[in-house]
Amino acid sequence: MMKRLFRRHEFYIALVTICLSLVIGSLNPAFFSLSNLFDLLKSSVVMGIFALGVLVVLISGDIDISFTAIAACSMYLANKILLANHLTESLALAFCVSGAIGLVLGLFNAFFISTYKLPALIVTLGTASIFRGFMLAFIGTAVINTLPGSLIEFSKQMLFRRTLPSGEIIGLSLSFTILLILAALTWAFLRYTLPGRGIYAIGGDAAAAERAGFNVRRIRFFIYGFVGVLAGIGGILHSSMMRNANPFDLVGTELTVIAAVVLGGASLTGGRGSVAGTLLAILLIVVINNSLILLNIPVYWQRVAVGAIILISTAVSARRGELSHAFRV
């Protein structure tokens, strides 16, 4: 049992996170305050939802860098539609509208990737520019500061509350449960369904997967549609937590999310990755960003940290691939 645990990539991610937390906590005891711990979990929600979509794409052997553009477009359009039609009281409708817009945009990616066999990197790079350009040209650039009432109310909901002696009220945001539900659904889909196993098969060898009977084209449409839906949900959640809809939000965070998924054990060449590893890596990156703030280190060092994580995680992933190949030989 212990030997199996030591072989798992997730064990080392968790170990690094715990060790880093202990170091930061010794330097600044505020790190282990309930308020800060709740903030860490809340900060991981949107990035974690995005990472679940990126995980599925990477397992299939592709890459998607348009999900933040889809998220920004979905949340902004959804808020515009809901406010224009006075549909401000239904939280489920807000999620459905944003998720549906994300689905359409994700299938737009899938159409070019599956039909014309174009590289996913090139397609998503192009569509990210298209989505952002469309939004800036035809929808508007003004920040929406008045959101539907259902989103504002949701942002105030907590799983539980605690009043500190100072009178400050803290609690764990209800939005964290959405991340847990989506993570559980993604894990169950990848582990127990035939299309989920097909995603791993495509990442290993698409031609072999097709010969084995998997409909590669249909699965790829599902993958990018899934990413789009998650991007839409993540976008509207971000809007709710920030209590505004800013078309310039989320731009540039795609690199951090991809780095986290690779750090969590997903292979850039496909065929490998886990939900547990992805969530642990997201938590690690959130802890790193939080620790830099608590230690009064300039924010731009976060970019240095993310760049280092990309290099280290890619090197580790490549090394693991070499070792696996050596053992097979």
pLDDT digits (tens, 9 = 90+) for 188-205: 999 999 999 999 999 999
Distance, CA of 107 to CA of 100 (rounded, Å): 11
Please give the pLDDT value at position 259.
86
Under-50 pLDDT residues of the chain: 322-329
Say whether 217 sits in a helix, a strand or coil: helix
Question: Measuring CA to CA, which residue among 222, 236, 203 is closest to residue 99?
Answer: 236
Give the pLDDT confidence score for residue 158 in this predicted structure: 92
How far is it, in rounded angstroms, from Cα 30 to Cα 270? 40
pLDDT of residue 207: 92
Contact 242, 248 (CB under 8 A): no
The dihedral of CA 161, 163, 164, 166: what is its sign? Answer: positive
CA distance from start to end of the chain: 26
The answer to whether 38 touches 237, Cβ cutoff 8 Å, is no
Under DSSP, the state recorded for 115 is: I
User: Cα–Cα distance between 68 and 53 in angstroms, integer?
Assistant: 11
CA–CA separation, 118 vs 220, rounded Å?
A: 12
Residue 18 tokens read as 């715990």
- Cα→Cα distances 173→29, 136, 227, 276, 295, Å: 22, 31, 24, 21, 25
Tokens of 79: 């808020």
CA atoms of 87 and 89, how far apart (whole Å): 6
Q: How many residues does the chain have?
A: 329
8 A C-beta contact, residue 61 and residue 269: yes
DSSP string, 176-205: HHHHHHHHHHHHHHHHHSHHHHHHHHHHH-
Q: What pLDDT is attached to residue 138?
A: 80
- Phi and psi at residue 173, in whole multiples of 5°? -60, 140
Closest to 231 in 3D by CA, of 66, 55, 60, 113:
66
SS3 246: coil
Strand partners for 163: 169
Two tokens at 154?
């949701």
pLDDT digit string, tens, across residues 277-326: 999 999 999 998 888 888 887 777 777 877 787 677 667 666 655 444 33
**Structure-token match 């998924």, residue found:** 261
User: Taking a C-beta distance cutoff of 8 angstroms, is the pair 190, 56 a contact?
Assistant: yes
Cα–Cα distance between 170 and 172 in angstroms, integer?
7
Domain range summary for the chain, segments of one domain joined by +? 31-250
Beta bridge partners of 162: 170
Whole-number Å distance between alpha carbons of 24 and 310: 22
pTM, to two decimals: 0.94
Distinct helix (H) and strand (E) counts, the chain: 14, 2
Q: Alpha-carbon Rg of the chain, whole angstroms?
A: 20
